[in-house]
């Protein structure tokens, strides 16, 4: 019985696009439409724009036929596909895919991610061994071939190699004789050679085609390519047919040599199999003398089909044109047959991502229909629920007089002595129970809301207890980060001023590893990065620090205020002091700031923190570091010390090391040494709390600075 289902087989050749639309009719198929659209130029010509020519051919096809409602199968050239055949021992069918995947990895000379591949098994269920054909094509070549189809919104369901499609067509059509049959499909650039027998097939591509005959005529008669092509096509009716054949004879010889070489290799691997027939396909097979030349040199019967046995063309429009180009429609015929599931080889080189898109798009109408039915069913159920709920509410209100909620005492009384369903109507009983439940929920929400403020206060008090050890630990880590003085100075400091003064005589002042802290201030912020950026004196740090002779240009990286990477709640600490070490800023960075940057306290969890010293450029956290004698010249007297009264330092203002309160003495109070070469510094860094509850306004005094 005939069916309306139809399939297009589309074969894009070098010379023309061939398209065939068929549908099944009993054990045969019927042609519904066909197109043979020649390209303006052969695609292999150097000056041919393949993409534009194929797009033009598809545009012509779409202008004549609406193909988007039909299934579409597309062919790809045999010279771009890889075919490998291997024999497997008798194994469980479930294991064949894994074995074939291993064989494919061994035989495909590309990375498996770079190719689209599939396989086909040959041989019956009772065969002693199974032969497997592995077919592959590079992913980029498949994409290049399908580009024009995608641009035209044509979605194929199968992509098949041209030689395999031709094999499917002639096998279905009953063209094979007993024994092995040789198929020759002579195209414009290449010839697909297929040896088929009852068990399977073997393929090879020969790089000789119709263009080789055209070029031979071009060289012999010294004419243009277009004239040589025209001369080749009209050779059968030309009065110079003999001369044309002689000019093409070398190409005939090369083609026969390649065929004989291929048959020799096939015979060596398939002993006992003899080729008894040759079937010629492709328009190039119309060349005068080619059929006779092949038959005499191969010693095998060579036939050229004039019709297909199972293809009905009686009712199709312009049937004579189809018959005229019948030899070139073999591939399109096989492609369309595979779309009808009437072929032996069912493999496909369609990329999985395109296959999934096609499947989902074809299922979309069904999804919309199912969604509409589901929405309608949900609307019916929901409407009935709303109607029933309204009716029940009205009945409950009328039966129980619902209007105001019950007091706590009334709720407790009903809980102690609940109403009996036996003494009242069902609607009245339900109304009382619902009213009781609603009243209890309202009272619960009221009590819960009233207690939330007290709960918050309790949590804040508990947080104070959790964080009571935070600042002692921060101070301890800062103390540990300070550089350790020389051993004799450390021992003398513990013994008293006199011992220290004596020990200091043995260590040059500029070599002492000492840092003296004068003051520091603290500001808490929920975003230490933002607070740090607002407190840092933009531009002034670079100018002040670079004044030091021990500070090289490589240690500065820009003059803008630093932007720290990590962020979180915590403290911004401004620290001022002095050091006698002649290294100045370099000494502070390497012996103090680097130590701070490496500190990270992780236990206990309630008071975990870390120091964030700006590492965008060395010494960027060092706001100010200058020699005391420089400040004496600037202020005309003692060295100013003490914390900065302002939260930030701007251009023309003084930092913490330049505060207005000055110290008159210019000598070390213990050793009596001149302090003019000492460095006075100001440091700005952050303490970031790793736990959300690790810091609060009570830890650091809110957002206001705290001086120590």
Q: Which helix (H) or strand (E) holds 258?
A: helix 241-269
Using CA atoms, how far apart are residues 656 and 634, in angstroms rounded to an integer? 15
Closest CA to 194 of 91, 323, 344: 344
Residue 618: pLDDT above 50? no
Q: Would you call 369 exposed, middle or buried from its count of C-beta atoms within 10 A (0-12, 13-18, 19+)?
A: exposed
d(CA 297, CA 184) in angstroms, rounded, equals 15
pLDDT at 336 (0 to 100): 94
pLDDT: which is higher, 308 or 704: 308
pLDDT band of residue 564 (cuts 50, 70, 90) is very low
284-341 residue pLDDT tens: 888 888 889 999 999 999 999 888 989 988 888 888 888 888 888 999 999 999 999 9
d(CA 388, CA 442): 25
Give me the percent of the chain exceeding a pLDDT of 70: 81
Tens digit of each residue's pLDDT (9 = 90 or more) over 197-251: 767 889 999 999 988 999 998 899 998 888 888 888 888 778 888 888 888 999 9
Q: In this predicted model, what pLDDT tens digit does every residue of 38-47 receive, in sequence order?
A: 998 888 888 8
Residue 242 makes CB contacts below 8 A (sequence gap 6+) with none
Least confidently predicted of 82-86, 162-166, 396-400, 575-579: 396-400
Q: How many Cβ atoms sit within 10 Å of the Cβ of residue 686? A: 27
Edge-to-edge, what's the strand order for the sheet holding 81-88? 81-88, 130-138, 115-122
The predicted-structure confidence for 575-590, as pLDDT tens digits, reads as follows: 999 999 999 999 998 8
Residue 479 has pLDDT above 80, yes or no: yes
Beta strands in 336-450 (DSSP E): none
Residue 663 has pLDDT above 90, yes or no: no
Q: What is the 3-state secondary structure (H, E, C) of 631-650?
A: HHHHHCCCEECCCCCCCCCC
Q: What angle separates helix 210-221 from helix 241-269, to the nearest 10 degrees?
A: 140
Does 1-174+310-350 match 176-304 in CATH topology?
yes
In this prediction, residue 242 carries a pLDDT of: 84
- Residue partners of 559: CB distance under 8 A and separation at least 6: 538, 539, 541, 542, 543
Q: Confidence band (pLDDT; 50, 70, 90) for 168? A: very high
Asked if residue 523 has pLDDT above 50, the reply is yes
Query: Which 8-state DSSP code applies to residue 553?
Result: G
Q: What is the pLDDT of residue 294?
A: 92
Residue 94, pLDDT score: 86
Residue 388 has pLDDT above 60, yes or no: yes
The β-bridge partners of 159 are 74
More confident call, 251 vs 656: 251
Answer whether residue 105 shows pLDDT above 70.
yes
- Nearest of 32, 49, 38 to residue 148 by alpha carbon: 49
| Whether the predicted pLDDT of 382 surpasses 90 | no
Question: 372: which 2 tokens?
Answer: 């509409």
Tokens of 325: 């180009």
DSSP code for 693: G
**What's the pLDDT band for 435 if we cut at 50, 70, 90?**
confident
Closest to 620 (Cα-Cα) out of 557, 691, 700, 573: 557
Tell which wins on pLDDT, 394 or 558: 394
CA of residue 425 relative to chain centroid, distance: 66
Kindly tell me if the per-residue pLDDT of 127 is higher than 80.
Answer: no
Which residues sit opposite 617 in a β-bridge? none
Residue 425 confidence (pLDDT) = 78
Query: Mean pLDDT score of the chain, rounded to an integer?
Result: 81
Q: What is the mean pLDDT of residues 562-567?
A: 58
Residue position matching structure tokens 């094999």: 167
pLDDT confidence of residue 683: 92
Q: In this predicted structure, what is the pLDDT of residue 555?
A: 45
Burial class of 593 by CB neighbour count within 10 A (0 to 12, 13 to 18, 19+)? buried
Exposure b/e, 373-411, CB count within 10 A at least 16 = b: eeeeeeeeeeeeeeeeeeeeeebbeebbeeeeebeeeeb
Q: Where are the domains of the chain?
A: 1-174+310-350, 176-304, 470-707
Q: How confident is the model at residue 175 (pLDDT cuts 50, 70, 90)?
A: confident
pLDDT confidence tier of residue 144, bands split at 50, 70 and 90: very high
- Identify the pLDDT of residue 494: 86
**What is the rounded CA–CA span in Å between residue 371 and residue 378?**
10
How far apart are the C-alpha atoms of 575 and 34, rounded to whole Å?
A: 89
Q: What is the DSSP letter of 667?
A: B
Q: What is the pLDDT of residue 391?
A: 64
- Confidence at 407, pLDDT banded by 50, 70, 90: confident
Q: What is the pLDDT of residue 185?
A: 93
Residue for token pair 């013994």: 495
For 253-262, 271-280, 547-556, 633-642, which range has the lowest pLDDT when averaged over its residues? 547-556
End-to-end CA distance of the chain: 100
pLDDT, tens only, 1-25: 344 579 999 999 988 999 999 999 9
pLDDT above 90 coverage of the chain, percent: 31
Report the DSSP beta bridge partners of residue 517: 577
Q: What is d(CA 673, CA 666) in angstroms, rounded to the nearest whole number?
A: 9
Give the per-residue pLDDT at 636. 59
Q: Is residue 585 within 8 Å of 657, Cβ to Cβ?
A: no
For residue 252, pLDDT over 70 is answered with yes
Could you tell me the CA-to-CA distances from 554 to 207, 537, 544, 551 in Å, in that order?
Answer: 66, 21, 15, 8
**What are the CA-CA distances from residue 174 to residues 6, 166, 178 (Å)?**
22, 12, 11
| CATH 3.30.420.40 corresponds to the domain 176-304 | yes
Say whether pLDDT at 657 is over 60.
no
Query: Band of the pLDDT at 551, cuts 50, 70, 90?
Result: very low
On the question of pLDDT at 672 being above 60, the answer is yes
61: Cβ–Cβ under 8 A, 6 or more apart, which residues?
Answer: 10, 17, 19, 35, 37, 67
Instruction: Give the Cα separation of 272 and 284 in Å (integer).
Output: 32
In this structure, which topology does domain 1-174+310-350 adopt according to CATH? Nucleotidyltransferase; domain 5 (3.30.420)
């Amino acid at each position: 019985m005939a069916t309306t289902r139809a399939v297009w087989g589309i074969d894009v050749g070098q010379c023309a696009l061939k398209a065939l639309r068929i549908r099944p009719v009993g054990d045969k198929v019927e042609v519904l439409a066909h197109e043979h659209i020649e390209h303006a130029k052969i695609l292999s010509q150097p000056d041919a724009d393949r993409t534009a020519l194929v797009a033009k051919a598809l545009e012509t096809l779409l202008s004549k036929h609406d193909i988007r409602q039909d299934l579409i199968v597309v062919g790809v050239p045999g010279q771009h596909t890889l075919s490998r055949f291997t024999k497997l021992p008798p194994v469980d069918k479930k294991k064949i895919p894994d074995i074939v995947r291993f064989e494919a990895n061994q035989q495909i000379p590309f990375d498996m991610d770079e190719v689209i591949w599939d396989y086909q098994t040959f041989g019956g269920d009772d065969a002693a061994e199974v032969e497997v054909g592995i077919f592959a094509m590079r992913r980029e070549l498949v994409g290049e071939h399908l580009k024009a189809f995608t641009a035209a919104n044509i979605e194929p369901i199968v992509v098949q190699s041209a030689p395999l499609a031709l094999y499917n067509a002639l096998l279905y059509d009953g063209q094979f004789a007993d024994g092995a049959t040789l198929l020759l499909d002579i195209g414009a650039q290449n010839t697909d050679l297929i040896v088929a027998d009852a068990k399977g097939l073997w393929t090879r591509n020969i790089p000789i085609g119709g263009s080789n005959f055209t070029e031979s005529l071009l060289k012999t008669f010294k004419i243009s390519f277009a004239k040589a092509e025209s001369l080749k096509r009209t050779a059968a009716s030309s009065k110079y047919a003999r001369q044309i054949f002689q000019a093409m004879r070398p190409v005939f010889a090369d083609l026969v040599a390649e065929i004989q070489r291929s048959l020799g290799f096939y015979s060596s691997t398939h002993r006992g199999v003899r080729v008894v027939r040759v079937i010629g396909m492709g328009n190039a097979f119309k060349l005068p003398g080619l059929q006779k030349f092949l038959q005499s040199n191969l010693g095998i019967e060579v036939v050229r089909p004039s019709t297909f046995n199972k293809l009905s063309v009686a009712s199709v429009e312009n049937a004579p044109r189809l018959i005229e180009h019948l030899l070139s429609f073999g591939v399109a015929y096989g492609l369309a047959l595979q779309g009808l599931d009437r072929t032996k080889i069912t493999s496909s080189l369609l990329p999985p991502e395109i296959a999934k898109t096609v499947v989902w798009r074809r299922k979309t109408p069904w999804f919309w229909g199912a969604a509409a039915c589901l929405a309608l069913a949900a609307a019916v159920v929901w409407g009935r629920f709303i109607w029933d709920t309204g009716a029940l509410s009205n009945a409950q209100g009328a039966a129980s007089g619902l209007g105001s909620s019950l007091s706590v005492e009334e709720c407790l009384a009903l809980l102690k002595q609940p109403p009996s369903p036996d003494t009242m109507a069902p609607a009245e009983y339900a109304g009382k129970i619902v009213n009781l439940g609603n009243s209890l929920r309202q009272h619960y929400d009221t009590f819960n809301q009233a207690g939330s403020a007290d709960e918050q206060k309790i949590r804040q008090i508990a947080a104070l207890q959790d964080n009571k050890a935070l600042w002692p630990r921060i101070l301890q880590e800062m103390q540990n980060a300070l550089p350790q003085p020389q051993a004799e100075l450390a021992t003398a400091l513990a013994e008293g001023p006199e011992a220290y003064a004596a020990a200091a005589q043995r260590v040059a002042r500029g070599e002492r590893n000492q840092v003296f802290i004068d003051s520091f201030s603290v500001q808490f912020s929920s975003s230490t990065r933002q607070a740090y950026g607002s407190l840092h004196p933009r531009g002034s740090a670079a100018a002040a620090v670079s004044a030091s002779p021990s500070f090289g240009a490589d240690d500065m990286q820009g003059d803008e205020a630093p932007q720290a990477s990590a962020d979180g709640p915590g403290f911004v600490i401004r620290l001022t002091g002095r050091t006698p070490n002649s290294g100045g800023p370099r000494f502070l960075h390497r012996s103090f700031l680097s130590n701070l940057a490496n500190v990270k306290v992780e236990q206990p969890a309630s008071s975990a923190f870390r120091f964030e010293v700006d590492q965008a450029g060395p010494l960027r956290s060092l706001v100010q570091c200058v020699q005391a004698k420089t400040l004496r010249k600037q202020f005309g007297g003692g060295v100013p010390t003490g914390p900065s009264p302002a939260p930030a330092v701007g251009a023309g203002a003084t930092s913490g090391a330049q505060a207005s309160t000055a110290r008159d003495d210019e000598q070390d109070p213990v050793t009596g040494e001149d302090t003019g070469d000492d460095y006075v510094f100001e440091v700005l860094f952050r303490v970031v709390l790793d736990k959300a509850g690790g810091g609060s306004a009570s830890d650091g005094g809110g957002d206001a600075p705290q001086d120590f």
